[in-house]
Amino acid sequence: MAFFGFKHGVHPPEEKELTSGLPIRRMPYPDEIILPLRQHAGKPATLCVKVGDYVERGDPVGHADGYMSVPIHASAAGTVSAIDLWPHPDGSYAQAVHIKVDKYALQAARPRMVPRWEGLTVQQVVKAVQDAGVVGLGGAAFPTHVKLAPPKDYTVHTLIINGAECEPYLTSDHRTMVEFPDRVHFGCRVMMHTLGVTKAVIGVERNKPDAIEALERAKPKDLDITILPMTVKYPQGAEKMLIHAVTGVEVPSGKLPVTVGVVVQNVGSLAAIAEVFDTGLPLLERIVTVTGHGLKRPANLIVPVGTKMKDLLAYCDGVTPNAAEVIIGGPMMGQSLANLEAPVIKGTTGVVVLTADEVRGEKVYPCIHCGRCLEACPVFLNPSWLGDLARVKRYDEMAANHLSDCMLCGSCSYVCPSNIPLSQLFQASKAALRRIQTAGAA
């Protein structure tokens, strides 16, 4: 199959050797689980328990609030000890359910009906995936069932599976492909059947040869699935970049992948779909890469959703004396963690502990108009000019200069010799624009 690649982008140090060879292990249940009702794109779940309730593993604590929403399930058996506003990984506070974990429980979920997907209609498969609370596990946490039911105005011809994992340090997708290739293919089978497509492509960067080999070895003979090795480049895993790299087709500005006949899904999400139709269990846990030169014992772990970050780091023997910053996600698109009491949520791909030597200095110099940010931007924006507009809050002009196409990949900030936090400026500008547009619509 042809490989088209994409222009621009950057090549940050990979730093994946810390965990790429480490098998996935299961983390023990912590003493307390914190489950925010806001864990996905779309409307937060609606609370359905009260303080004092005893919940089994897999019981819902929040119901889906509409189609663009999914339920939240108890990832461990125990007693609801509190419901309050709690630190969220994104730096805000969100309503959350506290569960005091029952140390004597077997942590076996209640007997559940395993849906036999072959006999289900498309609508029933979509509902089963929604009921299981499955969202995109690549970080965006977009409800997966919505991607399974694209608008009828468009015809989907190709399913693209995102196994790029181009963010430095992160290896959770890599280990999923190495250790659970059958689950990835099973999830792919369900998704292809539901979308009605006959062709799928799994894009994997060439720095994961063992993953490519494992997927090739497990590939079903009755499906048209191509394992496509790709050049190592950031942000290869961004949805529109991946589509261009695989198909050579550019998704138009402001449009969704379905407009060019493509649906993209992350390998971890496919494994989660497989789990739903293999065991009947909802999404209760996820694979998290816990790593960084500031961590004593890096690992790839299966972590109950709701585990507090401080418990996660403690299980990895804590941080080194020169640890300076904890990042949620990778260092390019991730976010600095303000509070270690915040829990792992469904979209938590990794936790990276950086040392003082790795943390970027705070000194910012004036733009020297070197043009490096233009050469790095994968969607051909002018980050330098947009940065100037952001500083004087000319948001309308930023919108007219295609700010919405910025995926906040951080490539511009990475190459800027003046240390200008361009990506952060654009993130704040997008938030300001949303507030303005919301106020205007009210």
Residue 115 pLDDT grade (very low, low, confident, very high; cuts 50, 70, 90): confident
Share of the chain above pLDDT 90, in %: 84
Rg (CA), the chain: 21
Peptide bond into 13 cis (omega under 30): no
pLDDT digits (tens, 9 = 90+) for 228-246: 999 999 999 999 999 999 9
pLDDT above 90: residue 205: yes
Residue 186 pLDDT grade (very low, low, confident, very high; cuts 50, 70, 90): very high
How far is it, in rounded angstroms, from Cα 187 to Cα 205? 20
Q: What is the pLDDT of residue 54?
A: 97
How far is it, in rounded angstroms, from Cα 389 to Cα 183? 47
Peptide bond into 235 cis (omega under 30): yes
Nearest alpha-carbon partner for 9 in 339, 428, 402, 332: 332
Q: What is the pLDDT of residue 436?
A: 84
Q: What is the pLDDT of residue 44?
A: 94
Alpha helices in 162-266 (DSSP H): 172-179, 181-195, 209-218, 239-247
Q: What is the pLDDT of residue 284?
A: 96
Q: What is the pLDDT of residue 187?
A: 96
C-alpha distance from residue 141 to each of 83, 225, 367 (Å): 23, 25, 35
How far is it, in rounded angstroms, from Cα 344 to Cα 348? 6
Phi (first) and psi of residue 392, to 5 degrees: -105, 10
pLDDT digits (tens, 9 = 90+) for 367-399: 999 999 999 999 999 999 999 999 999 999 999
pLDDT digits (tens, 9 = 90+) for 122-139: 999 999 999 999 999 988
Q: What is the pLDDT of residue 38?
A: 95
Q: pTM of this prediction?
A: 0.93
Q: What is the pLDDT of residue 3?
A: 67
Nearest alpha-carbon partner for 134 in 73, 215, 61: 73
Nearest alpha-carbon partner for 309 in 332, 322, 333, 325: 325
Ordered strands of the 32-36 beta sheet = 32-36, 93-101, 78-87, 54-55
Is residue 40 within 8 A of residue 105, CB to CB? The reply is no
**Tokens of residue 358, six digits:** 């790795």
Q: What is the pLDDT of residue 441?
A: 61
Mean pLDDT score across all residues of the chain: 93
Ordered strands of the 72-73 beta sheet = 46-47, 60-63, 72-73
- Name residue 21's amino acid: G
Q: What is the pLDDT of residue 438?
A: 76
pLDDT above 90: residue 112: no
pLDDT above 60: residue 301: yes
47 pairs with which residues across the strands? 62
Q: What is the pLDDT of residue 442?
A: 57
How far is it, in rounded angstroms, from Cα 289 to Cα 294? 14
pLDDT above 60: residue 155: yes
